[in-house]
Structure 1
Amino acid sequence: MRKGAPPLRTVLSYLRPSAKKMAWGLTIKFLGTVMDLLLPWILAFVIDTVVPRRSLAQIALWGGVMLLCSVLAVVGNIAANRSAARIARDASERIRHDLFSKIAHLSCRQIDGFTVPSLEARLTTDTYNVHQMLNMMQRVGVRAPILLLGGVAVTLTLEPVLTLVLLSVLPLIALVVFFVSRKGVGLFSAMQRSVDALVRTVREDVTGIRIIKALSRTEGEKTRFDGVNRAVSRRETAASTTMALSNPAINFFLGAGLTGVILVGAFRVDSGLTQPGTILAFLSYFTIILGAMLSITRVFVMYSKGAASAARIQEVLAAEGEPETLAAAASDRGAARLSFEGVTFSYGGGEPAVEDISFSVGPGQTLGIIGATGSGKSTLCNLMLRFYTPDKGVIRLDGRDIRAIPLKELRSRFGVVFQNDLLFGRTVAENIDFDRGIAPDRAEAAAGWAQADFVAGLEGGFAHPLAARGTDLSGGQRQRLLVARALAGDPDILILDDASSALDYQTDAKLRQAVRTHCADATCVVVAQRVSSVMGADLILVLDEGRLLGCGSHGQLLESCPPYRELYALQMGEGAAQ
């Protein structure tokens, strides 16, 4: 997709695969609409020409023609509407697919910029608005202009003078539609931003419902939700009210035009300049034109919503994804499997989350990272996986700058358990496999190494279906299954980010022993707040507010790093550090 393309052009490009079907549907719609336009003209001809002849055969003939036109109009419009619904459905499906794919390939920095709730709203509410717009544009957006222009054209042939009276109000109607729809796009964009905030609030409350109840914050959250909900309502009311102004304004101008037509028509009939059948047909066409104008108004309302949503969708589709590889030297820098060289990084250009971090760890070694909450432990893991790129410094894997390694190749070498990882609403085996094609024997063995013996007690064992997010398991059970998922992939580098916080000391010790035994060649990165979880590591990093306070083995840090020594004494007992 061309960067900077107009949003509607981007959306309409998804109609190209259905171009032939759409052309056929629009042709049917055109013919059906023409049949509708012929009915009043035929009626006028019958009243003014056929009826005076007093021929029942001709009246029946033209009545049959009117019936045939009505049937063709109904059948044509139904067929065209069904085709329009299918085309809009298929286009929306393609938009959702590409949008989801694009979101999956956005960098973490880009996701932070858009925010997850906003991306969810764009994938759901905005695609729905675009679907409605595409559907209505094909159904009403084609029919209404044909009825409007065709009605005006036919009335010109019937009675030019009366048509000029009607045409005098159309420019005023066009101005109303233009200004209202132009204002509506901005209002609907603001409303969608409010919907983003609403989705974010609901997402937070649903995810944290247990802690909300535990801390008796239900009323407070109801108040917070009420404020966000009212903001959505206010902006929706402002947008809807603005768009609703078009209907009474159009009705007023059309009513004025109709009044003028009736007055002028009465004088012309009285003067013998116009036939009664012509006036009757003209009023029928006036009704058709009125309906067409109101339909066009509805189209512009939906257009305003769809255009605002299309712009939000295009923002995501036009975002340039992170390149697979970046220009970086790929020189051999020694045997270290993983090394950081003066790495500094900040989220959003603010204060550094980590600053001037340097270390190296080799194959089969364990790196322990310990520090208080917010010290930058998880940030280091994110940088290893290239979820973010350092502001300064270099991260190397087997001597290669990770910026020069394709993302798929890089991440395939990692096994990861994140601090806030989750399980899916699938079976135990599927959660461990995670669509990687892992053999069942390997998955069961990984569960054993992760001390997930409880699986045997579940109904169905590894075929047991889990609830979404694994809410039917305890915290320790979830963590052990997550560790099993990481171990099953036989990773070169295993990252355990606070992966044993819910485990008791005995299970934690067994887990660490199993990892050392069965993943002897892997580099293990253990992120923890408990000294017991990292004290056996070959290298331990002590972090505080993104800065490296100490780096070395457990014994070295006890001698050279007072913060580590104090933490060890606090957790293991006052005499432990002596």
Structure 2
Amino acid sequence: MLKILKNLRAYKWLVAAVFGLVFIQSMADLFLPTLMADIIDNGVVTGDVAYIWRIGGWMLLVSAVGAIAAIATSFYSSRAAMGMGRDVRRQVFTHVEQFSLQEFDQFGTASLITRTTNDITQVQQVVLVLLRMVASAPIMLVGGLIMAISQDAKLSLVIIGAMPVLFFSILLILKKGIPLFTEVQKRLDRLNLVFRENLTGIRVIRAFTREEAEKARLERANRELTDVSIRVNKIMAFLMPVMMLVMNLTVVAIIWFGGIRINNGAMQIGDLMAFIQYVMLIMFALVMASMMFIMVPRAAVSAKRINEVLAMRPAFEDLGTGTADREPGTLEFEGVSFSYPGAEEPVLSDISFRANAGETTAIIGGTGSGKSTLINLIPRFYEVSEGTIRVNGVDIREAPQNEVRSKIGIVPQKSVLFSGTVAENIRFGKPGANEADVEHAARVAQADEFIQRLDDGYATYVEQGGANLSGGQKQRLAIARALIRKPDIYIFDDSFSALDFKTDSRLRAALEAETERATVLLVGQRVSTMKTADRIIVLEKGRIAGMGTHEELLKNNKVYREIAESQLSEEEIA
């Protein structure tokens, strides 16, 4: 929690102003009972109307000062707390952007979203309360005690006797409740995960008529969160009634013993009224403290979860300072092996090949052979376990990640589009691209034809994830996004699977001219789309089972021939 609160340093003057205003407000609240005692003893009892008006005027003035200070306190504390929340949210987001896919896998997307939104909001709210009460509660407590003792020291023993009961009750309740706050956040993570999977996978759920099963899964996650929330709230619900009971019993005791002292002439009526007011202020300070005791533990759990994200160091650091331009358009794997964390066997073992500018290298293999993993290593989404990958002749670990990725245009297996216009989605690959560049990339990707048929053309709005476009349309926009970048290395990860053969052949013809000076890496399952490649790499169980041209592999490689025979006719193979 303290690590998060350090972010308030940027708002130190606002925090100082809040503490100053809280002090003024507290002094005003503490001064009012004294004025009330004075007006009763010297004005009401004696019937001095002029004195009542004069002291009453002072009471109005003190109340006005307290009210103005309270309003200003709320304003400045809100600015400081909301500003800190914004800064922490930006800090977490910026840090998460540096994560490799390994860290994303470790936390989970749903948990990262919860930590960035709900957890930061919890901390933000408790900071808002703390700024208002962390100074106010002690001042009111100590000041109230001093003023109460000054009114009547013997009667103050009633307050001193009530305090241990309050502290014991608060500690007992918190001891039961704090462990449950951690469980609440975990259950919230789980609920967000189920929600996210349902929303993103709604088409699959409906296609397999799994609505009822998913409703039951959501209901189970929702019930688990509800149950633990009810448990923690049941425990915390005891806090306020216990405090009110102690407060009211204390007031009753003060009135009882105060009445006796007034009857004996040891105390005046005004002093008793002021004493009761001070007791109320003391109890109010304890109520505020109890509110902090309720909010701080949950915020502390949230702060711990935020700090876990901020403390997580990426699996690899961006230590490179060079440039990836020694041999433009080249890609080289040298003895590369890779294992996922905790895996018993490596996914890739001893992968070595070189692709030069102007060449097309195809990678083919069965499901689970390691094709997508190999692709993810090139832009350094994961760090190699052994060996070296060179882009443009430079080890990708010796150049900045942004520098390496700027040389690569990747079209992922699953086309991901963002909410915005068609032109904005294409321009995502090169933010400064002009309209002519956008249209040229779309024409090469065979996307211009369907874009022109849209109601607003390139200004058509694309919904989140491209929900208003077909699979083939999304795939072509993803290809256009990579083309507009004009990179040295193109990576197509099974990027033509949603295209019909006619569009596929037109696209390939257009790509030949567009990528003639770049290295092209094709990953897929179709032999027909790879047979013209300069080099075909056959992967089997994470190892290179063969490498060569289509004709060479048909003659010499059993694995490739089996794949080809399963897809092509005898005439095509011959």
- TM-score normalised by the chain length of structure 1: 0.94
Matched residues in 1 for 2:562 and 2:326: separation? 36
Q: Is 1:308 the counterpart of 2:270 in the alignment?
A: no
SS at 2:364 equivalent: strand
Residues 523, 131 of structure 1: alpha-carbon distance in 2 compared, 3 angstrom cutoff = same
State the 1:180 CA deviation. 3.9
Matched residues in 1 for 2:508 and 2:156: separation? 88
Partner of residue 380 from structure 1, selected from 371, 374, 380:
374
State the 1:357 CA deviation. 1.7
Counterpart residue number, 2:115: 122
Counterpart residue number, 1:110: 103
Counterpart residue number, 1:360: 354
Counterpart residue number, 2:246: 253
Q: Is 1:45 the counterpart of 2:38 in the alignment?
A: yes
- Maintained 8 Å contact 1:424/1:468: yes
Partner of residue 422 from structure 1, selected from 386, 403, 416:
416
Q: Is 1:320 the counterpart of 2:316 in the alignment?
A: no
Alignment coverage as a number of residue pairs: 571
Counterpart residue number, 1:274: 267
1:363-390 deviation per Cα after TM superposition (whole angstroms, max 9, x unaligned)? 1111111122332111111101111111
Partner of residue 442 from structure 2, selected from 415, 440, 447:
447
- Maintained 8 Å contact 1:166/1:258: no
Q: Is 1:149 the counterpart of 2:127 in the alignment?
A: no
- Maintained 8 Å contact 2:363/2:537: yes
SS at 2:81 equivalent: helix
Structure 2: segments with no counterpart, 5+ residues: none
Matched residues in 2 for 1:319 and 1:139: separation? 32
- Maintained 8 Å contact 1:475/1:502: yes
Partner of residue 75 from structure 2, selected from 82, 87, 99:
82
Counterpart residue number, 2:572: 576
SS at 1:168 equivalent: helix
Matched residues in 2 for 1:553 and 1:105: separation? 39
- Maintained 8 Å contact 1:147/1:288: yes
Matched residues in 2 for 1:519 and 1:335: separation? 13
Counterpart residue number, 2:561: 565
1:443-493 deviation per Cα after TM superposition (whole angstroms, max 9, x unaligned)? 211111111121111122212221111111111011001000001000100
- State, as a whole percentage, how many aligned pairs show the same letter: 38
Matched residues in 2 for 1:291 and 1:9: separation? 26
Q: Which amino acid is 1:488 matched to?
A: I
Residues 80, 558 of structure 1: alpha-carbon distance in 2 compared, 3 angstrom cutoff = same
State the 1:558 CA deviation. 0.9
- Maintained 8 Å contact 2:365/2:538: yes
The worse-fitting range, judged by mean Cα deviation, of 199-208 and 511-520 is 511-520
- TM-score normalised by the chain length of structure 2: 0.94
Aligned pairs for 1:55-94 (under 5 A) are 55-94=48-87
Q: Is 1:401 the counterpart of 2:403 in the alignment?
A: no
The worse-fitting range, judged by mean Cα deviation, of 214-223 and 525-534 is 525-534
1:208-266 deviation per Cα after TM superposition (whole angstroms, max 9, x unaligned)? 11111111100000011111111211222233233333223333433443343333323
Counterpart residue number, 1:516: 512
Counterpart residue number, 1:4: none
Q: Which amino acid is 1:496 matched to?
A: F
State the 1:341 CA deviation. 1.8
The worse-fitting range, judged by mean Cα deviation, of 259-268 and 8-17 is 259-268
Structure 1: segments with no counterpart, 5+ residues: 1-7
Matched residues in 1 for 2:422 and 2:325: separation? 41
1:487-541 deviation per Cα after TM superposition (whole angstroms, max 9, x unaligned)? 1000100011111110011211221222121110111111111111211111212
Residues 539, 175 of structure 1: alpha-carbon distance in 2 compared, 3 angstrom cutoff = farther
Counterpart residue number, 1:3: none
Counterpart residue number, 1:22: 15
State the 1:424 CA deviation. 1.0
Matched residues in 2 for 1:74 and 1:573: separation? 88
- Maintained 8 Å contact 2:320/2:400: no
Matched residues in 1 for 2:334 and 2:25: separation? 72
Matched residues in 2 for 1:118 and 1:214: separation? 27
Counterpart residue number, 1:550: 546
Partner of residue 278 from structure 2, selected from 276, 280, 285:
285
SS at 2:158 equivalent: helix
State the 1:415 CA deviation. 0.2
State the 1:343 CA deviation. 1.5
Matched residues in 2 for 1:74 and 1:194: separation? 41
Counterpart residue number, 2:458: 462
SS at 2:491 equivalent: strand
Partner of residue 482 from structure 1, selected from 478, 482, 486:
478
